[in-house]
Structure 1
């Protein structure tokens, strides 16, 4: 009786040893669990620009963006301020992106707060008033890396105000052509992204614009020089040529 139990136990033990390598190999072939990733950038410029002219700051700004990523999901809060530490735009983007070879697709949603300011003088003292409007925005995008130094991207945003004083709704479409790097990635190199975008909202305001964002980098040094220009196809008192320059720190 004892010999029978011992024999069965020995057979099970050897069966376990035979199956163990196969199980270990199967575990090794399983895809790795996605890891948390964190990075961001801080940007100091001479003129806070928004794609929608009515939302531009029009004065020096500090713009901070953070990226917290796991798998296909990314949470990217953006905290933008004037240099006197007053809030300008606060965004909380949640995005989902699918990569297929050189093409990618994405959807996103954003809760934001926009702070408009009025500067005045009362009894010889500077006085600043701020009002805040809350918005929800939704994003759809598609893009592709055409070659080593050229990509294409198409983005659509729909925004809606959560407060009666805000711009009740708006549409934004932008086509971009990221180019670069030009030069030596280990030394001095540059990138530039021409854009063409259309705005239609209930201010009411609508218009077609062209813009370009360029940057100059030195190897892997985390600080780069950047510049941006925006030009409407039909300039007027509301929308006209705009530009900025600044420093960008990535981490």
Structure 2
């Protein structure tokens, strides 16, 4: 379910200044997303939207005291020729744009992800909260949870006329991710995710378990490097299940915010109806990273 976007934290300060307008654009995205969600979610969910989006709005406050709590703001904008998900029923299968953000402290972060078809229709929205339970030189354990919305286009009959409507499906999910660091740039870990579908006409119980590794800094030259993250995973969707392989390769330049990535998803064996034998995509990614100095609260 995760999208394999890597935040390149080495983007240079000069590029941050040149492209600072994008930060303002991302800030403006939150009201737009709130409006978009309101079009597809019942009125009683307004409080939920406020709870989900208000912390992010706080993160971008220009008040002088804001840096007391927020010490990083990172994000990425990806344009891909094919929207792919490790959950087969969530795969879009056509060009898409994805907005990733991360804002928080060293321990706790809010990481929303907004996916749209390139034509503008919403694909899925995820509102991740992630917590670093344990972090040492060799071992890390991360916890996460999120509500999510997956959008589907359906034909309905209204007053005798067939019309296209967009329907939102609601999900709740949690994750556990222990990782062992073999070296500074090489890691091996497990990832488990459980997702619960709210509506009765969707998959109610999804279990996702993967064995993954990461090679974070494969040097190609003084300026260019690659990141390779292969994984093998088991997926169970209610009574159906399957095995898959999913490697991602990222090509990047040091101190440069743009990168290119490609993901390949291959079915090994499955009984899940929506699975496809093989899928791959290519994505162009713009990443940015900001760090803020934590200030001590007044009076302490």
Shorter-chain TM-score category?
0.7 to 0.9
- Taking structure 2 as the reference length, the TM-score comes to 0.67
More strand by share: 1
1:112 aligns with 2:148: yes
Aligned to 1:209: 244
Aligned to 2:102: 67
In structure 1, the partner of 2:265 is 230
Task: Name the CA distance, whole Å, in 1 between partners of 2:216 and 2:150.
Answer: 33
How many angstroms apart in 2 are the aligned matches of 1:35 and 1:65? 17
Distance 1:39 1:157 in 2: 23
Change in Cα spacing, 1:234 to 1:184, as seen in structure 2 (3 Å) is closer
How far the C-alpha of 1:238 sits from its partner, in A, is 3.2
Counterpart Cα distance in 2 of 1:109 and 1:180? 25
Larger Rg: 1
1:104-143 CA distance string (max 9 Å, x none): 11111110000122489xxxxx964322110000111100
Matched-pair contact (CA < 8 Å) for 2:194–2:208: yes
Is contact 1:160-1:168 (8 Å) kept?
yes
RMSD: 2.1
Q: What SS is found at the alignment partner of 1:178? A: strand
What secondary structure, in the 3-state scheme, does the structure 2 residue paired with 1:233 have?
Answer: strand
User: SS at 1:54's partner residue?
Assistant: helix
Residue 79 (structure 1) aligns with? 114
Contact 1:134 1:166 in 2 (8 A): no
TM-score using structure 1 length: 0.79
Is contact 1:34–1:71 with CA below 8 Å preserved after alignment? no
Work out the CA distance in 1 between the residues paired with 2:172 and 2:219: 40
2:55 counterpart residue number: none
Alignment check: 8 A CA contact 1:226 1:245 kept:
yes
The answer for unaligned runs of 5 or more in structure 1 is 1-32, 121-125
Q: Pick from 150, 153, 164 the counterpart of residue 189 of structure 2.
A: 153
Superposed CA deviations along residues 172-205 of structure 1, whole A, max 9, x for unmatched, are 0111110131115750111111101110012x43
- Which ranges in structure 2 are unaligned for 5 or more consecutive residues? 1-67, 157-161, 289-300
Among 197, 207, 211, which residue is 1:171 paired with? 207
Structure-1 residue corresponding to 2:3:
none
In the alignment, does 2:205 pair up with 1:180? Answer: no
2:175 aligns with: 139
Indicate the residue corresponding to 2:82 in structure 1: 47
Residue pair 1:74, 1:96 contacting (<8 A) in 2 also: yes
Q: How many aligned positions are there?
A: 213
Higher relative contact order (CA 8 A, sep 6+): 2
Kindly indicate whether the alpha-carbon contact (under 8 Å) linking 2:242 and 2:270 is maintained by their aligned counterparts in 1: no
Deviation beyond 6 Å, 4+ runs, structure 1: none
Structure-2 separation of matches of 1:185 and 1:39: 26
1:197 match: 233
Quote the Cα distance in structure 2 between the aligned partners of 1:161 and 1:225.
33
